[in-house]
Homo-oligomer: A and B are copies of this chain.
């Protein structure tokens, strides 16, 4: 038997489907494109890596480590692997001694970093507000 709550659920589900089929109410996370790409976007280290590669076309491991201030070898190495596998960056190793490895954005990564830069512009402009809010709530 259908209750009022059920009715509401159905209406909501239909409304959702119309408005944004891409984020379905009952969508398993692993099938949601937003979440999928967000596995990179919502990782601070990956985001910083991509941003720095957006500023400098080619960066080597240790240079990257200096720019992405505070990252550990372990996490940097791990993120680089994932970013490469996902097609954001490419890795070129030269058979020199000591070995030289160059990281750079792929075309895909380049298109992503452009979007990302728009978001960081907002961040820079609005950061004072966040800080003000935090002070207001006694978080600083």
Chain A interface (Cβ within 8 Å of chain B)?
Answer: 19-20, 22-23, 25-29, 32-39, 41-44, 47-48, 51-52, 55, 66-67, 69-70, 84-87, 108, 111-112, 115-116, 118-120, 122-124, 126-127, 129-134, 136-137, 139
Q: Are B42 and A44 in contact (CB under 8 A)?
A: yes
Contact of A23 among B19, B20, B51 (CB under 8 A): B51
Min CB–CB distance A112 → chain B (angstroms):
7
Q: Report if A123-B33 is in contact (Cβ < 8 Å); known contacts: A47-B38, A55-B19, A87-B130.
A: yes
Taken together, the copies of this chain in the complex come to 2
A120 CB to closest chain B CB, in angstroms?
A: 5
Question: Given known contacts A29-B69, A115-B118, A126-B108, is B41 in contact with A133 (CB within 8 Å)?
Answer: no
Q: Would you call B123 and A34 a contact (CB within 8 A)?
A: yes
Contacting residues, chain B, for A108 (C-beta < 8 A): 126, 129, 133
Cβ contacts under 8 Å, A69 to chain B = 25-29, 32
A-B contact pairs, 18 of them (CB 8 A): A23-B67, A25-B66, A25-B67, A27-B69, A33-B127, A35-B48, A37-B126, A38-B44, A38-B123, A39-B44, A41-B42, A41-B119, A42-B44, A84-B137, A85-B133, A86-B130, A111-B126, A115-B119
Specify which of B43, B84, B112, B127 is in contact with A36 (CB 8 Å cutoff). B127
